Structure 1
Amino acid sequence: MGSRMCTWGALAMGIFWSALTLAADTTETAEQKAAAAPPAEAAELKIANRSVIVFRGTLLGETPELRSRRARAVIDEALAGDEDLQVSIDPIQKSYLVLLGYRRAFIVTPQDLEAGKNSVREAAEAAAENLRLVVMENGEARNVRFLLKAAGFSAVATLLFIGLLRAVRFVRRKLLDLIPKVMQRHTHLLQVGHTQIIDMQNLYYLVDRLLWLLYWALVLLFSYQWLSFVLSQFPYTRPWGESLNIHLLQMARYLLDGILGAMPGLAVAVAIFFIARGISDFMRSLLKRMARPGTISWLSHETLQPTTRLTSLAIWLFALAMAYPYLPGAGTEAFKGLSVLIGLMISLGASSVVGQAAAGLILTYSRTLRPGEFVQVGGHEGTVTEMGMFTTTIRTGLGEMLTIPNSMITGSVTKNYSRTVSGEGYVVDTVVTIGYDTPWRQVEAMLLEAARRTEGILANPAPQVFQTALSDFYPEYRLVAQAVPSMPRPRAELLSVLHANIQDVFNEYGVQIMSPHYLGDPQSDKLVPREKWYAAPAKESPDS
């Protein structure tokens, strides 16, 4: 009886092989026709939730969808039986026949190849391996003992998962209780002198957020692994568990490859920055030595600091440009887009900033102003207290602090009262207009007398009087003197005392101070008699 069945089986296989050979002979003609026709839509053959193969070509007039349905029907029928199924492949012309026992499961043709793969045999072997897994999992799904064992492993994994979650929560609570004590014990490490750099409350909040992120990262990782393990225990859900593992491994491999791939470039970038730091320190020391008197005329104590900053900035910008291609992610589109955005922002919004910085450099190296000098800029008068890259600060005689843009200083006339004096001090000047009926020699003598009476005005060099204009109705007299160095407020007081002395001297000698824009002389002189100098509420001082 067994020999008869083998004979009938061999006869059936022979007939089948003959039909397949005849079909294969017509395959080339069918393939030529299929090549001229539009490509059919691919269809996936999936058995028991596991993907076996994706059909992409039309075979003997059957579309991929029809081929998938026929193969599924054959495989389901074979799996429903109790026989021991073996999966094998046989070549047939340019295609491969995948056999499930004595049944033809499906045919793998060159049209079924995935893009980038050139071997039909490799595709057939991969499909056969997937079909073997289907056969094995079909047997496991019918095995009650295997299912009970899988359920037991899943229960143990679930208990372990719950224990890990509780352990992570317990460790997080213990760390939150321990951190304040550690912070209090090492609080001196976060102080500069007696000043706390970081507030303990803010630091505790930051650490709490970091622990919270770490806690949820571990929870998600454990949940992912638990779900992957449990799904892998049962035949039907095993493909899902395997895909989860594959995704996690691919992500870990991607991150590891990225880190390892970025390390050489990162090492080069770090080396460039260390070299730039060494060159910057060397240039700082070199410029400090070259700033000594008699070495370089334009490099002095005033220009040393901005020159050092500019040199360091140029070195670091060059180092950044050299290290940029080696930075991780420098070639990505996101990095390029960010670079373009930063460049656009600088080009649109930094024009005025660049202008101010250029004006600051001009003021620094032209030495128009220096801290401590008394100057007049655009109608503002005072002592220069600070010169920055973008602005200059001036303190007026009234105690006001003026912040003037450097571009305004370079674009206007600047009067420096501290440069033309001999020795230390600054220039003090004032203007009076007296009618032509008063002798100019008398006016000059009275102005010099008022200067001699003013404490703070130097006798050497001696004050001078200049007739700066001969107007229609009066000449203009300018008193120029040199005062001792003082703060801005005493200078304002000095001018006030000088003006008071000028009025007193002119009153003593009976000369009125007025600009005679008139039609005729006044009937009486506009003078203040001495006896009215201290009219109420003024009080005469003991020194008067």
Structure 2
Amino acid sequence: MKKLPIIILVIAFSSMLYAQENTITPYIDNKQIDIDSIPKGEPVIVGDKELFRIHSVLGPFSSKERASATIQRLNRILEKKLFDRDKLKVITSEFTTDIVYDNAIIMSITAIDAKEENKNPDELANAYIETIADIQKTRPQHTIVNKPEDIYTFIINNRDTLIKAVVALFSSIVFLIIYYFLSKLFSKIYTVVEKRKGTTFKSIIIKNNEIISDSTLVSLLVSILKAVKLSAVIGLLYLLITIIFILFPWAKSASVMNIIKGILLTILTTVIAIGIFKTIKIGMKALQDNISNWKGTLIKPLKIKTVSVLTEEQSVNILKKMILAFYIILNIFLLYIFIPIIFSYFEFTSTWADSLFGYILTPLKMMISAFAGFLPNLFFIFVIIFVNRYVIKLTKVIFDEIAAGNIAIHNFHQDWAEPTFKIVRSMIIIFTIIVVFPYLPGSQSDAFKGISIFLGILFSLGSTSVIANIVAGTILTYMYAFRIGDRVKIGDTVGDVIEKTLLVTRVKTVKNIMVTIPNSIVMGSHIINYTTSSTHGEGLILCTTITLGYDIPWKKVHDTLINAALATADIKKQPSPFVLQTGLDDFYVSYEVNCYTDRPEIMARIYSELHQNIQDKCSEAGIEILSPHYTAARDGNASTIPGQSLQETYQAPPFVIKIIDKLIKKDKNGDDK
């Protein structure tokens, strides 16, 4: 019930609006007019006079297009000096009634046009012919002067025309005077600008680098002033032409006006274009001239860590080439824009302008439209990437804590934290790409799908070894076969591990040689980790073999080798070294000395020092190292032991000579034996 008054008011207000809508009376300048009195159709105007109106379409042409074409044809006919009224004729066809001049159709009258004018087509065509002929009568006619009286008659008959001619002449003189003083004024301005070079107009310097010199700046200002002067002259000329057409409306033709306007605009546009081209040229030249001065300040060598990618000189040369390429592209683009603008000033070339502009605008419109349609998907992609970024950051924080030991996971080594993080990060990124892919522009197109299939096949065929190395690298990571810094032997390569990636393992040998081994080869080779062996149990056992003759007591050899091992630095005293006899060969016995160390990274130095000590301790013990292929005749030859290790009373043994009386003996029978 409370809403009932409101409903009644709404119904009443709607009824008032409906009543007003159905009783609208048009007003112009506060005066009531009749709608039926407003002219209908498209007017045909020649000069300043409306001749008639066209009401209907004809084929694909609208009434407006028909009126425009009729105006152009009438202007071409009326501009002829010799106009013959008798050449205007009416020709009736099946569907239209045509007005023809000299066998060329001026316009066609349809049944609808005639109905709108309340006449039949033939009557309307004859009326239009009379209207066209009357227009020709108002145009000035030629007068032939044969005697003085004819001059007076000519002046009286053409008094208004002569007055207008005098006004036009006076206007031309005024234009010339203004142009003269304008030229003088601008010449003085040019002189003043030139004189103030270096004072008012100074070079533009930024951070001790001259960007634009004073001469360049003055040249630019003079060019701008010349453009202003030319624009003013064109404006005055256009004003003069307008005055002439006002004085002589019969000379005013739409086609002529369009051509004159097009010529003036072409001149103005050309001047502006030349100014733009010169300004760009001056700017580019100043930029190229000053680039060399920026070395060491704005332009510095491009380095990635310690690797020099580009020197200053190379950077300068690249920038100069880029500026030149940009200058050429910009000029071509401006020229492409300038030509259609010129074409658009003239009616007969306007379609060319539309075509040329279309080559640029159509792709731009398509790009803008596609980008606008892509915005929702782009927003979704940004959200996915944003979430992905912070998920990766959170994951990194967790694995950093595992690497630092703050988070402990059973049977998960701290060294696994970084490679595991890389694997998890890769999986997150791959998942993100899979989610984002359908939202990329063109992802559902056949071309995009074809390229994706081609790249997939190419990747599958060309990355077999890469995938094998990645899989091997992942397995090696969790096998815990070695770590960075471990002394290892992989195949025939012995050295320290300095880098371990998913693809390769890099080892630095004891000779400082960097060896890069693909992980698939590492996986297929036996791996000896000396560092792990030294840190687990009693330590790493180093062993070396020496062969000595059977004439030396084995206990003496054992004691000598153990003493040599204990005298070697970085050999552990406990557990103590020990000797194994590994072979009893034909001429010698093989002794293997074994000793413990916890310094596998200096194995080569330890072995070298151990061998030195074995030589020294053997010499001190009077043991000659003669085997395996060292022989000596004891009689008459000195010992091979170094002199400082021999006794002072030592003398080389003499040669033993035995005299054999009879080399030939007789047997019982008397024969030689």
Q: TM-score, normalised by structure 1?
A: 0.62
Give the residue type in structure 1 aligned to 2:641: R
- Whether 1:313 and 2:426 are equivalent positions in the alignment is yes
Q: Which residue of 641, 645, 655 maps to 1:530?
A: 641
Q: SS at 1:236's partner residue?
A: helix
Cα distance change on mapping 1:473 and 1:192 into 2, 3 Å? closer
AA in 2 matched with 1:483? T
The one of 255, 273, 277 aligned to 2:389: 277
Match of 2:400 among 288, 307, 316: 288
CA distance change for structure 1 residues 324 and 200 in 2, over 3 Å: closer, same or farther? farther
Q: Secondary structure at the match of 1:169?
A: helix
Asked if 1:410 corresponds to 2:523, the answer is: yes
Q: In structure 2, how many angstroms separate the alpha carbons of the residues matched to 1:191 and 1:381?
A: 34
Q: Counterpart of 1:256?
A: 368
The separation in 1 between residues aligned to 2:418 and 2:410, in whole angstroms, is 15
- Over residues 143-177 of structure 1, what are the superposed CA-to-partner deviations in whole Å (9 max), with x where a residue is unaligned? 44443343333333333333332233234334445
Q: Which amino acid aligns with 2:497?
A: V
Aligned to 2:271: 159
Q: Distance in 1 between matches of 2:345 and 2:503?
A: 71
In 2: Cα distance, 1:527 partner to 1:355 partner:
64
> Does the CA contact (< 8 Å) of 2:97 and 2:109 recur in 1?
no
For 1:480, the aligned partner's letter is N
1:446 and 2:560 aligned: yes
> Which residue does the alignment assign to 2:452?
339
Q: 3-state SS of the aligned residue for 1:389?
A: coil
Aligned partners of 1:435 and 1:516 also within 8 Å: no
The answer (yes or no) to whether the contact 1:190–1:198 under 8 Å persists in 2 is yes
Out of 314-323 and 397-406, give the one that drifted further: 397-406
SS of residue in 2 equivalent to 1:478:
strand
User: What letter corresponds to residue 607 of structure 2 in structure 1?
Assistant: L
Could you say if the C-alpha distance between residues 164 and 455 of structure 1 is closer, same or farther in structure 2, counting changes exceeding 3 Å?
closer
* Cα distance, 1:141–1:289 mapped onto 2, change above 3 Å: same
Question: 1: distance between equivalents of 2:260 and 2:268?
Answer: 12
Map 1:111-190; keep pairs closer than 5 Å. 143-176=255-288, 186=298
**Structure 1 position 214, deviation (Å):** 4.3
> 1:212–1:465: structure 2 CA closer, same or farther, 3 Å change rule?
same
2:468 corresponds, among 355, 359, 362, to: 355
Equivalent residue number for residue 225 of structure 1: 337
The one-letter code matched in structure 1 to 2:595 is A
Aligned residues of 2:496 and 2:509 also touching (Cα < 8 A): yes
| Structure 1 range deviating more: 472-481 or 440-449 | 472-481
Residue in 2 that maps onto 1:105:
none
- Separation in 1, partners of 2:625, 2:306: 65
Shift, 1:278, TM fit: 0.9
- Aligned match for 1:85, one of 78, 103, 107: 107
Alpha-carbon distance between aligned partners in 1 of 2:410 and 2:567, rounded to the nearest angstrom: 42
Give the secondary structure class of the aligned counterpart of 2:531.
coil
Residue ranges of structure 1 left out of the alignment (5+ in a row): 1-46, 48-70, 91-98, 103-139, 536-544
Counterpart of 1:370 in structure 2: which amino acid? R
Q: 1:359 to 1:533 in 2, by over 3 A?
A: farther
Q: Distance in 2 between matches of 1:422 and 1:228?
A: 83
Q: Deviations over 1:387-433 (max 9, x none)?
A: 33333333334444433333333222222233333579643211334
In 2 relative to 1, CA 75–260 (structure 1 residues): closer, same or farther, beyond 3 Å? farther
Matched, 1:322 2:344: no
Residues 374, 156 of structure 1: alpha-carbon distance in 2 compared, 3 angstrom cutoff: closer
- Is this contact kept in 1: 2:301–2:310, CA < 8 A? no
Q: Secondary structure at the match of 1:419?
A: helix
Native 8 Å contact 1:374 1:382 kept in 2? yes
Deviation track 1:299-336 (CA, whole Å, cap 9, x = no partner) reads: 33322221222222221122122222223343445544
Do residues 481 (structure 1) and 595 (structure 2) align? yes
Deviates more, 1:348-357 or 1:498-507: 498-507
Q: Any conservation in 1 of the 2:295–2:312 contact (CA below 8 Å)?
A: yes
Instruction: Quickly say closer, same or farther: Cα 1:222–1:473, change in 2 above 3 A.
Output: same
| Paired amino acid for 1:172 | M
Distance change in 2, residues 1:410/1:237 (3 Å): closer
The verdict on how the C-alpha distance between 1:267 and 1:477 changes in structure 2, with shifts beyond 3 A counting, is farther
Distance 1:87 1:378, change over 3 A: farther
Q: 1:324 to 1:500 in 2, by over 3 A?
A: same
User: Which residue in the other structure is 1:132 paired with?
Assistant: none
- How far did 1:286 drift? 0.8
Structure 1 CA distance, aligned partners of 2:305 and 2:460?
Answer: 42
The alpha-carbon distance between structure 1 residues 237 and 397, as it changes in their structure 2 partners (threshold 3 A), is: closer
Query: Which residue does the alignment assign to 2:487?
Result: 374
Paired with 1:195 and 1:522, the residues of 2 have a C-alpha distance of: 61
1:280 positional shift: 0.9
In the alignment, does 2:462 pair up with 1:462? no
CA apart distance, 1:282: 0.6
CA distance in 2, matches of 1:389, 1:482: 34
Cα displacement string for residues 35-57 of structure 1 (whole angstroms, at most 9, x for unaligned residues): xxxxxxxxxxxx9xxxxxxxxxx
Matched, 1:385 2:407: no
1:499 Cα shift? 2.0
Q: Structure 1: how far apart are the matches of 2:461 and 2:485?
A: 37
2:97 and 2:110 in contact (8 A); partners too: no
Write the letter of the residue equivalent to 1:173: K
Cα offsets for 1:3-38 (capped at 9, x unmatched) = xxxxxxxxxxxxxxxxxxxxxxxxxxxxxxxxxxxx
Q: 1:202 offset after TM fit, Å? A: 4.4
- Are 2:472 and 2:523, in contact at CA under 8 Å, matched by a contact in 1? yes
Q: Which amino acid in structure 2 is aligned with residue 430 of structure 1?
A: T
Q: How does 1:183-198 map to 2 (within 5 A)?
A: 186=298
Aligned 8 A contact 1:467 1:477 in 2: yes
Moved more, 380-389 or 267-276: 380-389
Say if 1:81 and 1:162 are closer, same or farther in 2 by CA, change over 3 A: farther
Rounded to whole Å, the distance in 2 between the matches of 1:503 and 1:302 is 44
State how far apart, in whole Å, the 2-side matches of 1:181 and 1:75 are: 80
Over 3 Å counting, the alpha-carbon distance change for 1:195 and 1:264 in structure 2 is: same
8 Å contact from structure 1 (residues 510, 527) kept in 2 = no
Query: Which residue number in structure 2 is paired with residue 238 of structure 1?
Result: 350
Structure 1 match to 2:85: none
Determine the C-alpha separation between the residues in 1 that align with 2:638 and 2:459: 65
Larger radius of gyration: 2
Give 1:242 deviation, angstroms: 3.0
The size of the alignment, in residue pairs, is 413
Q: Please say if 1:502 is aligned against 2:627.
A: no
Confirm or deny: 8 A CA contact 2:622 2:641 kept in the other structure.
no
**Matched AA of 1:309:** K
Cα distance, 1:220–1:293 mapped onto 2, change above 3 Å: closer
Q: What letter matches 2:563 in structure 1? A: E
Whether the aligned pair in 2 keeps the contact of 1:293 and 1:300 (CA below 8 Å) is no
When residues 373 and 473 of structure 1 are mapped into structure 2, their CA distance, relative to the original with a 3 A threshold, is farther
Which is bigger in relative contact order (C-alpha 8 A, separation at least 6)?
A: 1
Per-residue deviation, 1:445: 3.2
Aligned partners of 1:262 and 1:233: how far apart in 2? 37
Structure 1 CA distance for aligned equivalents of residues 366 and 422 of structure 2: 42
Any idea what the Cα deviations from partners look like across 1:509-543, whole Å, max 9, x if unmatched? Answer: 546563599xxx997699954344789xxxxxxxx
Inter-partner Cα distance in structure 2 for 1:164 and 1:280:
51
